A and B are shown apart, each in its own frame.
Chain A
Amino acid sequence: MSSFHEDHQSRVTKRLLELRRKNRKAFAVFLTAGYPSLDSTLPLVRLCDEAGIDILELGMPFSDPLADGPIIQACSQQALNNGVTLSWILEQVQAIREFTNLPLVLMGYLNPIFRYGVEKFFRDASSVGVDGVILPEVPLEEVHRFSHHARANSIDIVLLVSPTTPISRIKEIDKTTSGFLYCVSSTGVTGHSTTVDEVRAYVVMVKELAVHPVLVGFGIRSAEHAQQVASVADGVIIGSEFLTKIRSLGQTNGLQMWIRKIRESL
């Protein structure tokens, strides 16, 4: 059985180990690349970095995002209207790497990657400084299509578990994932609200089974909610709620304070 410590030390792994040593929880945010505008991505990443997030998930927009709720759907559509492409996203990552070593994973759908070329995608992503990918449409049975490219380019493939995943399968997924284990907090799409009680018992179980750090996402909305969920996991991922805050607050001190508040509550 592979252990989390034996994995190659990606930026993601290093950051999560460091947090574990300090007995702190990880805070990841999901940002749709190119939302709300093409020139907002770099300043937003800088703002998040300065406010103390641990991992940035940069969303690669897709025309038909079937795992996403209305908020991320709308942001993806707006980003596509702004002209976002996969090549553009990789250029942005290159520019991000000029000012920060923040662990960065790309999250998105398969079709644009197939079109770009799977091998070329992993090679180019690695060369601009991407640390990992999250592909919610790729279950355990299909990871083999990507894993050798990922390994060859030192990119983590983060796999997901959900409340319908049987125990034996959680173990298998934990063996195969790298970086961390993405624990989907409830059945449903992104942004679907959940209550802490529903989530807690399930996360506790995943946490007991998993060797990798467990980050919980889908439907986390507030600092209290984040804190309660993080208390039984290794960290939380906030997407839809973060994008909603960008829409209501813009790139402001208010947004930075919102991030800091959650960061400090963890």
Chain B
Amino acid sequence: MKYGLPDKRGYFGAYGGRFVPETLIEPLRRLEKLYTRMKRDPAFTNEYYSILREYAGRPTPLTFAERLTAYYGRASIFLKREDLCHTGAHKINNVVGQILLAVRSKKKRIIAETGAGQHGVATATVAARFGLQCVVYMGEEDMHRQQLNVYRMKMLGAEVIPVTSGSRTLKDATSEAIRDWVTNVNDTFYVIGSVVGPHPYPMMVRDFQAIIGKEVRKQLRTLNTGKSLYLIACVGGGSNAAGLFYPFLQSTARMYGVEAAGLGLDTDKHAATLAKGIPGVLHGSLSYVLQDDDGQIALAHSISAGLDYPGVGPEHCYLKESGRVQYHAVTDEEALKAAALLAKLEGIIPALESAHAIAFLEKLMPCTKKGECVVVNLSGRGDKDMQTFMERLTYE
């Protein structure tokens, strides 16, 4: 059966839709129309693939993790190396697509929200490449935690606007970006960084990230691996997971999304929206939301700034409820340990976000067998997290 989601109204089952002020409805419709047209336009798709190839460094390798495989002694483990993309994470796949749409719609001003700064850096990068004005909203708290990325964005010519409202993190930066967009909608294109927000963003971002899964499918075919396949990706908003999973939804692959359990799911310091959230509306779509008893949005917590978000993409809510994807959560400590392990065994320092996916191997590997195949999406590299590693991991 064909998957065919979202439906015409932008819903993945009960989740998604378009819950935004009236001012944005017509611009979103136009964007949806433009995207639907461009998706079938060979000139557009050729340009998208050629920029990913010649500028972003795609295709990224699928690396056999030989020593990690030996460590667990079960299925073979492969790493999808999104950490090797230009700017250091998968974020650029989506940004290239959206900026090409911005160019097609003749918008000269690009805005974006960012948490850890990875999406902000990717947006500033591609905006510079196309000579577009770029404004990035970033929570003041995150700016302190990620000073290096703030500087990178500035060097790339972007204006970084500190957001001082609310918790001064990603959720507030997102609200502020939406406010800018509502105000400047006539000349501004809003580049959303994850599979969240009003329709068509969750669909569009997923499609632009689906290059990850498509490449993995092709790479596995050449490797001639066995039939039994497991896919693992971390989930904050959920874009790298959506990109890996989407091309495999109709296959028999078993899929696992890994959320941030922070200090633990039994505490209130976590970012496990799918595990602990309740359906609600945040930032333009109906999806699971971390919230209190009065329906006010709760603060998320994760050691990884990129997972530190109290919402999650609507498609993941659907995939969870339909049972197609299983969602689990790992703690800050487990993620740190996994990052150290990967560095030691494979010579790869993962981003803290991706370390959550690696950490899930502890739970999954004992259930796998030799001859089976596990693919972990290594969504980003750890350079941006060195400060946290230095504070939390001690070496003699």
Contact = CB atoms under 8 A, between A and B. Distances in A.
Contact of B182 (A65, A67, A109): A67
B183 A139 contact: no
A142 B17 contact: yes
Contacts of A139: 18-20, 22, 25
Contact of B23 (A80, A112, A140, A162): A162
B9 interface: yes
Contacts of B340: none
Contacts of A67: 21, 179, 182
B23 A66 contact: no
Interface stretch (A49-57, A123-131, A187-195, A252-260): A187-195
B175 interface: yes
A135 B185 CA distance: 21
Given A115-B291, A164-B26, A80 B184 contact: no
Contact of A141 (B9, B282, B283, B295): B9
A110 B172 CA distance: 17
B205 interface: no
A160 B19 contact: no
B319 to A, nearest CB: 21
A114 B17 CA distance: 15
B166 A77 contact: yes
A1 to B, nearest CB: 21
Interface in B1-44: 9, 17-27
B18 to A, nearest CB: 6
B295 A113 contact: yes
A189 B183 contact: yes
**Which of B9, B25, B178, B186 gathers the greatest number of chain A CB atoms within 10 Å?**
B25
Nearest to B199: A141
A187 B17 CA distance: 22
Contact of A112 (B20, B172, B175, B296): B296
Interface string B276-302: 001111111000010101111100000
B183 A110 contact: no
B179 A66 contact: yes
Nearest to B310: A64
Contacts of A188: 23, 182-183
A64 B282 contact: yes
B63 interface: no
Interface string B104-116: 0000000000000
B171 interface: yes
Interface in A12-28: none
B175 A66 contact: yes
B283 A66 contact: yes
Interface string A134-148: 001111111000000
Contacts of A66: 20-21, 175, 178-179, 283-284
A85 B22 contact: no
B166 A63 contact: yes
B297 A164 contact: no
A68 B294 CA distance: 20
A98 to B, nearest CB: 25
A114 B295 contact: yes
A73 B165 contact: yes
Contacts of B296: 62-63, 80, 111-112
Contacts of A140: 25
B291 A189 contact: no
B40 to A, nearest CB: 25
B182 A189 contact: yes
A115 B281 contact: no
B175 A114 contact: no
A187 B22 contact: no
A65 B165 CA distance: 11
Contacts of A65: 175
A116 interface: yes
Contact of B295 (A77, A112, A160, A161): A112
Interface in B324-347: none
Contacts of A82: none
Contacts of B171: 64
Nearest to B296: A63
Contacts of B281: 109-111, 114, 137
Contacts of B183: 187-189, 192
Contacts of B19: 110, 137-139, 142
Contact of B280 (A115, A141, A162): A115
A88 to B, nearest CB: 9
A85 B293 CA distance: 10
A45 interface: no
A164 B175 contact: no
A188 B178 CA distance: 10
B12 to A, nearest CB: 16
A62 to B, nearest CB: 7
A146 to B, nearest CB: 12
A153 B22 CA distance: 25
A187 B186 contact: yes
Given A63-B166, A66-B178, 13 more contacts: A64-B283, A80-B296, A111-B281, A112-B295, A138-B19, A140-B25, A141-B25, A160-B22, A164-B185, A187-B182, A187-B183, A188-B183, A189-B182
The 4 closest A-B pairs by CB, nearest first: A115-B295, A112-B295, A188-B183, A162-B23
10 contacts: A64-B171, A66-B179, A66-B284, A110-B280, A111-B295, A115-B278, A141-B17, A164-B22, A187-B186, A189-B183
Interface of A: 62-70, 73, 77, 80, 85-86, 109-116, 136-142, 159-166, 169, 173, 184, 187-189, 192
Interface of B: 9, 17-27, 165-166, 171-172, 175, 178-179, 182-186, 278-284, 289, 291, 293-297
